């Protein structure tokens, strides 16, 4: 029997570039050519000014741990306790993720600590952007 797996995202026409990016090891955001807003999640227009003149940009992959909870109950694909986190990227947008490469404890998960993207391949099509603490 296959191991239980985490929920798998299903790309749509508007988000395909994002998932193509993670598959290639790039975290992609979008930026408005008119008002310079950088935004997430993907959509083919600017949520700040409504312009359709937007471009896909590669994010640095760096950010800080913005907030989280540590879940203590079992979920398919996860071993509790595990953190469900929100990272604020250097470019501004925030996204939900998991933090890898460190203990899943309040002591190890310090708000505002620097983190960087660590891609985790789910299958040939989908790679998830997880984050890990930046090592000195």
Q: Which of 74, 56, 76 is nearest to 14 (CA)?
A: 56
Nearest residue (CB) to another protein, 12 versus 60: 12
Which residue in 54, 62, 27 sits closest to 135, CA to CA? 62
* Cα–Cα distance list, 94 to 73, 88, 123 (Å): 25, 4, 25
Cis preceding linkage at 51, omega within 30: no
- For the bound state, the minimum distance from the C-beta of residue 39 to another protein, rounded and expressed in Å, comes to 10
**Segment 33-92, which members bind another protein (CB under 8 A)?**
40-41, 66-73, 75, 77-78, 81-82, 84-86
- In the complex, what is the shortest distance from the CB of residue 6 to another protein, in angstroms, rounded to a whole number? 6
Is 10 among the residues that bind another protein (CB under 8 A)? yes
The smaller minimum CB distance to another protein, of residues 25 and 106, is found at 106
| Residue 128: other Cβ atoms inside 10 A | 17
Does position 95 interact with another protein (CB under 8 A)? The reply is yes
CA distance 111 to 3: 32
Residue ranges binding another protein (CB under 8 A): 6-12, 15, 40-41, 66-73, 75, 77-78, 81-82, 84-86, 94-98, 106, 111-112, 122, 128
């Amino acid at each position: 029997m296959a191991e239980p797996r985490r929920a798998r995202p299903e790309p749509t026409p508007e988000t395909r570039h994002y998932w193509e990016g993670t598959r290639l090891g790039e975290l992609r955001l979008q930026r408005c050519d008119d008002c310079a807003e950088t935004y997430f999640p993907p959509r083919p227009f600017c949520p700040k000014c409504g312009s359709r003149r937007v471009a896909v940009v590669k994010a640095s992959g760096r950010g800080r741990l913005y907030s989280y909870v540590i879940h203590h109950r079992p979920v398919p694909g996860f071993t509790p306790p595990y953190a469900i986190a929100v990272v604020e990227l250097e470019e501004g947008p925030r996204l939900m993720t998991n933090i890898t490469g460190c203990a899943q404890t309040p002591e190890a998960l310090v708000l505002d600590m620097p983190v960087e993207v660590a891609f985790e391949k789910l299958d040939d099509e989908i790679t998830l952007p997880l984050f890990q603490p930046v090592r000195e």
